[in-house]
Amino acid sequence: MIILAKDMPYRRLCAALFAVGFGAFLYGAAGEQAGRAWQAYLINFCFWSAIAQGALLFSVIMTTVRARWSRPLEGLSEAFAAFFPVSLLLFLFLIPGTSHIFPWLHDHHLHGKEVWLNVPFLLARDCVGLLILYLLGILYVYHALLLKTEAGVSGGFLRSALDRMRETSRKNRKQIVGRMRAIGVCYMAAFTLVLSLVGYDLIMAADPHWVSTLFGPYTFVKAFYIGLGGLIIVASLLHLQRDSGFRLAENQFHDLGKLFFAFCLVWADFFYVQLVVIWYGNIPEETAYVIRRTMASPWKSLAWTVLIVCFVIPFLTLLNKKVKTMPRLMVVLCSGVILGIWLEHLLLLGSPLSGSSQSLPFGISDVAITLGFLGLMLAAVAFFLKEFPETWRFGEGEAK
């Protein structure tokens, strides 16, 4: 697979994916099953936004803790921030579909939750939260580019704007790094708070009578888990592409694989802790949520699939040290986990949005809409990599 956006076939592929997804969504939203189209849209918005948010967090954490081994990976991590403006626009596009994605609008027994669950307040707070998170992320990437890019190198309009900003900036390298770390800490705080808020509002609230105080942390841990998966896929594909100018040493693949393995365990722990507390408490309002998704048809098989694909397989596979240093195998493994988390979003949202359907609310239109979001993500990341190649092109000697 060719990553760089300078290749015309690649740009055509991204455009084709987006056209297919956008066309499928418009066709579904205008048809008799508009709810299915909006369900797929909401799932993909939450899913792809989480990948971008979690992938950038890798660079933020590495900069904050002064890690050195991750230097070649930080530029790739920062490339995912190019999806932030797209994500914000996609969130605003949710507004016309509120009657389909918020089932509590038709619930007349919210028992005082109307203060929190009302459309204008929900959209406003989530939009402000995402705006703050994305501004912090873009500001962090801006300072990273000031350090990593070269002035006067030919490029697109973003590089020209960056050169003009560099000319007006009189800060030395130490000051810029200090600001990056301060902004990074703010981004981490916003990451936990905003993703918790979005998780509560867009996913948990789909079933308004079920409440879990752990759902917020579960949401941002999951985002970092799949963000790492996306980063590993991009790094592995570039490493395997011999003329890309990107190389990682074996020990760096191993360290990145260990981090992915660690958050596989953290995600599974949060998944388990929520279940065991609900089982132990045995409160009907809570157990009904779990029973419907893990024991009732058609969700039971999907729940087991998510557990096996997102935890059992990566856990058993990554116990082997050698696997972590094999890019091709890691691409397959991370792709499987990312697919599993997409299915987990379907498990959480499909049940309340599809009503009493006896079959999984999943079909070819869902695949097409997902491909459209994939096209947007690929285009955004490739655009950044093409615009600022010196942020991620390192020789193997420099990578160590």
Domain locations in the chain?
Answer: 8-106+114-241+249-389
Q: Length of the chain in residues, anyone?
A: 400
Residue 38's pLDDT is 94
* Contact by Cβ (8 Å): 110, 208: yes
Residue 1's pLDDT is 43
* Contact by Cβ (8 Å): 328, 240: yes
- In one-letter notation, the amino acid at residue 42 is L
Burial class (CB in 10 A: 0-12, 13-18, 19+), 137: buried
Q: Residue 243 carries which DSSP code?
A: G
Q: Residue 117 carries which DSSP code?
A: S
Helix, strand, coil percentages for the chain (3-state, nearest 5): 80, 0, 20
The sign of the dihedral angle between the CA atoms of 344, 348, 354, 359 is positive
CA atoms within 13 A on the CB side of 30: 6
Q: At what angle do helices 250-281 and 327-354 cross, to 10 degrees?
A: 30
How many C-beta atoms surround the C-beta of residue 225 within 10 A?
A: 27
Tokens representing 194 are 């905003």
Per-residue tens of pLDDT for the chain, all 400 residues: 445 544 557 788 899 999 999 999 999 998 888 889 999 999 999 999 999 999 999 999 999 999 888 888 999 999 999 999 999 999 999 999 999 999 888 777 777 788 888 999 999 999 999 999 999 999 999 999 888 875 545 556 676 666 666 655 556 778 888 999 999 999 999 999 999 999 999 999 888 888 888 999 999 999 999 999 999 999 999 999 887 778 888 999 999 999 999 999 999 999 888 888 888 888 877 888 888 888 888 888 999 999 999 999 999 999 998 999 999 999 999 999 999 999 999 999 988 887 666 778 888 999 999 999 999 999 999 999 888 887 777 644 444 4
302: helix, strand or coil: helix
| Alpha carbons 259 and 251: distance in angstroms, whole number | 12
Q: What is the pTM of this model?
A: 0.92
Q: Which of 186, 234, 194, 204 is nearest to 49 (CA)?
A: 194
